[in-house]
A and B are shown apart, each in its own frame.
Chain A
């Protein structure tokens, strides 16, 4: 299956700052990538679907101006949390759409103070 990496693995930032998370598909050309968020003891929730070269599709309730997604190449998608607040603290996981399944990255733990 595809190997997916995320950077950083962990980030702490001050409230009001912006944070960028990278998701890379190391050995697979990813036309479609996904961004999920997981709060403690909750299920993974899809935030948005990222298609290479086009605008991301956001799930209901996810603010597209707050969570900026860029998928400019077949190997890289980025998620920028703008003006982060403590309630944005969560575990963010990306995935790459393969032939039959999605391949997940190791996740990024975001803590907003």
Chain B
């Protein structure tokens, strides 16, 4: 049974700082790994999708990596801004999409 863990559960940083969010998964037989953003009381916005054959994806200030052998993914956010404040979820797709509990990020002006 796939389990996805995200560390830390919450993170507070000053504006401009670079930061890393961590995600680990127990079953390496995933098709892809995705990172989502969720604002309070809202649905999910897809940020990055990494196929199992890929090692990383980049979009603007975001970079996500995938290491299937170790069961880890990281989301790197460069030059953080207050508008980045949200909960970030990672999810692994095998038979179904399995989510972690998320990391709640607060970027302070």
Contact = CB atoms under 8 A, between A and B. Distances in A.
Interface of A: 1, 4, 6, 34, 41-46, 49, 59, 91, 93, 95, 100-107, 109
Contacts of A1: 46
B43 interface: yes
A109 B49 CA distance: 27
A101 B89 contact: no
A102 B102 CA distance: 18
B89 A107 contact: no
Contacts of B102: 43
B97 interface: yes
A106 B46 contact: no
Given A43-B4, A46-B96, A104 B44 contact: yes
A46 B97 contact: yes
A42 B49 contact: no
Given A44-B89, A101-B32, A107-B41, 8 more contacts: A34-B97, A43-B4, A43-B100, A43-B102, A46-B96, A93-B43, A102-B97, A107-B42
Dominant SS among interface residues on chain A: strand
A103 B91 CA distance: 13
Contacts of A34: 97
Interface bin, chain B: 20 to 34
A91 B102 CA distance: 15
A93 B44 contact: yes
A41 B97 contact: no
Contacts of B97: 34, 46, 102
A101 B46 contact: yes
Nearest to A9: B41
A100 B34 CA distance: 11
A101 B49 contact: yes
Contact of B49 (A59, A100, A105): A100
A32 to B, nearest CB: 11
